Structure 1
Amino acid sequence: MSQEWKVTEAIRRTGVLKEGHFVLSSGRHSGQYMQCAQMLQHPEEAGGAGQALARLFHDQQVDVVVGPALGGVIIAHETARALGVRCLFAERKEGSMTLRRGFAIEPGEKVLAIEDVVTTGGSVQEVVDLVEKLGGEVVGIGSVVDRSGGNHCFRHPYKALLAHTIQSYDPKDCPLCKQGLPVEKPGSRQSVKK
């Protein structure tokens, strides 16, 4: 991967930023949605993003990188590869994030939590809480895109490759609904009822 890899160019090249009428995971509506999977499906782009995130945390000792399934799996792996450490992913079981598949964090291990897109930060914060419950020491949180506008819940250092604000609306006040535009759930081509 070239040293010239830039997140804004990769996002444009791979069509990450979608325009339309979307229902976000929060239930709010928006005219834009960022689908980082469009970039991360390309190994060279995913590798470039992982290297860029690793550079953001070069001053931290990291023993393991952990990402939430599903969105954080690829970027956590590529960041771990760039740092030369192992990668784990947490997944939901009965509504709570957990480590499965024989994954473990040893007490005192230095952990970097990585996500693709942070909006509220809820999923990656659940990973942080899990890591701390298992005795790991969280040294930082990173993401490809920060959509939080600073409204995340993190108490650990947080760094992103790109900050991007997307306006969202309460469904009852959504101007896109008032225009009669069909609503999409990200990741699904099917329209949903308003």
Structure 2
Amino acid sequence: MQFGQVFKEKRESLGLTLEHIEEETKIRKLYLDAIEKERFNILPPKVYATGFVKKYARYLHLDDEVLVALFVEMAYGYEEEAEITQPQPQKSGPEFQFLAMNWRNVVVAGAFLLVALWVGNMIVGAISNHSPNVAQNPTSQQQNPTAPGPEEQNNNPAGDPAQTDERDMSATVRVAALSDCWVKAIVDGETVF
């Protein structure tokens, strides 16, 4: 009896259809039909095809090991043995493996690194701009009215009201605060604000 005929007769004796077996085993109907008709060129690569034959044989309660061995011999001949018997050339000295770089991945990784550095720099810059700037040598301008010195008294006699200018009597104080602060103004011993 031929290889494919074993599967077909067993399936028909159990009253099963290819569609039913396809649902149960998840092997496409195309491949099941190829196994039964011995059209091995339709089957996927060797690893998958031997798995399909094994699963199909088990589902039909057939001897899977015998059928897989027969399938490999029929479909692939003695390729497996020929591959094993070929001697591998021996290399003398250490073996070095060079990784082939995919330059597109290198460029993408470099661009990602540059963007990450730029974003990190922006974040650090934003954080440093929001920290309070404390001047090491604060320069607050305070104008303390002082009594006129002897030279000024000589230039402006106190008894002469015509020479006394009202602008000389007022003082402008400009304060620039670096952060929130309290301000209290006292004029002639009284709190103005």
Q: TM-score range by the shorter chain?
A: under 0.3
The structure where helix makes up a greater share of residues is 2
Structure holding more strand per residue: 1
Q: Give TM-score, length-normalised by structure 1.
A: 0.21
Larger radius of gyration: 2
TM-score by length of 2: 0.21
